């Protein structure tokens, strides 16, 4: 079956502005990016994303790599919808439990298709399960924060747009040194949160503030996938934790995570999933201190095109 270039890019994918969309019959397609992509020193990056395959055959991936070569790319990264603000990574191991809310999901043969054509692991990520403590855990870190005038408050839902803009400003600075970081414009960032407001509980989105401004935040949400399956949820998904670089030595992240754990327990939750953490990130240390148990593993792949 012939691989087609679909031009213009179909509506479901066009909003993320790929440079090319390929289709290999019903249910098998991908998009390619090479103009607006993450920087890698000494490389010209191309991304393979929007990846869907009906069966474990590799012609589409081989064609995608050739198209990236023709565009001048020397390194292919995937799966990634252009950058790390959007969907990226394959599930590559761990529990067979159903996906939690906002978790990526894919058939097991997807990563094997990439490996067969020479992709290797670029970065590994993990989600872990933490049993929530039955009583509040207070530490000296909180005392030190109080002495420095660092306070913690929940999301102000009546100011939802302004609160998202605070998260945007914090994220740009806090994630600047992350793997494959690229800046994102304000409207593009806000679009990532379209439709999520009705599902948020303000107690699970916390800001740490000092000197009149936010210096850290944690973003957590009930596991709505569990609720849809069972009619109730006892699981909280801790999705994002970020602290400005100048404030990381004070242990603020640990306090924010502890606070959402405490609030979740009071509201009848039993466990938290610390979601999609890069193995080398500081947030992984917090998970280990909370005695998190590995749940799922994910991999982002790359392949040299020279």
Q: Which residue has the tokens 């213009």?
A: 8
Q: Could you tell me which residues are beta bridge partners of residue 303?
A: 76
Exposure on the CB side of residue 110, measured as CA atoms within 13 A = 27
Question: Which pLDDT score is estimated for 39?
Answer: 94
Same domain? 102 vs 199: no
Question: Which pLDDT score is estimated for 27?
Answer: 93
Domain that holds residue 81: 8-125
Same domain? 159 vs 183: yes
Q: How far apart are CA 254 and CA 274, in angstroms?
A: 12
Identify whether 164 is part of a domain: yes
Residue 140: count other Cβ atoms within 10 Å of its Cβ. Answer: 8
Residue 244: count other Cβ atoms within 10 Å of its Cβ. Answer: 19
Strand 271-278 to strand 235-243: parallel, antiparallel, or no bridges (unpaired)? parallel
Number of domains in the chain: 2
From 125, 144, 173, give the residue that closes a domain.
125
Question: Which pLDDT score is estimated for 140?
Answer: 81
Asked if 122 contacts 285 with a C-beta cutoff of 8 angstroms, the reply is no
Same domain? 68 vs 183: no
Question: Which pLDDT score is estimated for 46?
Answer: 98
Identify whether 165 is part of a domain: yes
Question: Which pLDDT score is estimated for 283?
Answer: 85
Question: Which pLDDT score is estimated for 136?
Answer: 66
Identify whether 243 is part of a domain: yes
Same domain? 152 vs 265: yes
Same domain? 112 vs 221: no
CATH number at residue 137: 3.40.630.30
Same domain? 111 vs 144: no
201, with CB counted inside 10 A (0-12, 13-18, 19+), is middle
From 94, 125, 156, give the residue that closes a domain.
125
C-alpha distances (whole Å) from 175 to each of 179, 182, 286, 301 are 9, 9, 17, 20
Question: Which pLDDT score is estimated for 138?
Answer: 67
List CB contacts of 55: < 8 A, sequence separation 6 or more: 28, 109
Same domain? 87 vs 139: no
Question: Which pLDDT score is estimated for 23?
Answer: 97
CATH number at residue 73: 3.40.630
Identify whether 187 is part of a domain: yes
Question: Which pLDDT score is estimated for 195?
Answer: 87
In this prediction, the residues of the chain whose per-residue pLDDT falls under 50 are none
C-alpha distances (whole Å) from 68 to each of 17, 37, 44, 48, 306 are 16, 12, 10, 9, 11
Question: Which pLDDT score is estimated for 143?
Answer: 84
> Which among 206, 202, 192, 198 is positioned nearest to 224, based on CA atoms?
198
Question: Which pLDDT score is estimated for 230?
Answer: 95
């Amino acid at each position: 079956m012939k691989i087609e270039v679909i031009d213009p890019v179909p509506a479901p994918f066009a909003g993320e502005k790929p440079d090319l969309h390929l289709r290999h019959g019903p249910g098998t397609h991908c998009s390619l990016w090479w103009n607006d992509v993450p920087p890698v020193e000494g490389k010209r990056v191309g991304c393979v994303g929007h990846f869907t395959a009906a069966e474990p055959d590799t012609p589409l991936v081989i064609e995608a790599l050739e198209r990236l070569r023709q565009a001048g790319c020397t390194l292919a990264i995937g799966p990634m919808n252009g950058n790390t603000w959007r969907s990226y990574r394959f599930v590559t191991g761990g529990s067979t439990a159903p996906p939690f809310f906002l978790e990526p999901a894919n058939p097991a043969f997807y990563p094997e298709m990439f490996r067969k054509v020479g992709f290797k692991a670029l970065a590994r990520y993990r989600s872990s399960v933490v049993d929530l403590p039955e009583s509040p855990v207070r530490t000296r870190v909180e005392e030190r924060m109080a002495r420095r005038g660092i306070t913690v408050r929940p999301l102000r839902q009546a100011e939802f747009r302004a609160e998202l803009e605070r998260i945007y400003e914090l994220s740009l600075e806090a994630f600047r040194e992350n793997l494959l970081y690229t800046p994102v414009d304000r409207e593009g960032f806000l679009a990532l949160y379209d439709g999520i407001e009705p599902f948020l509980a303000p107690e699970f989105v916390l800001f740490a503030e000092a000197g009149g401004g936010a210096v850290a935040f944690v973003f957590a949400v009930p596991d709505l996938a569990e609720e849809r399956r069972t009619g109730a949820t006892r699981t909280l998904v801790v999705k994002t934790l970020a602290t400005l670089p100048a404030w990381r030595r004070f242990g603020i992240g640990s306090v924010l995570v502890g606070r959402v754990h405490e609030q979740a327990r009071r509201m009848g939750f039993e466990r938290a999933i610390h979601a999609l953490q890069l193995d080398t990130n500081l947030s992984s240390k917090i998970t280990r201190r909370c005695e998190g148990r590995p749940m799922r593993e994910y991999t982002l792949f790359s392949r040299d095109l020279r």
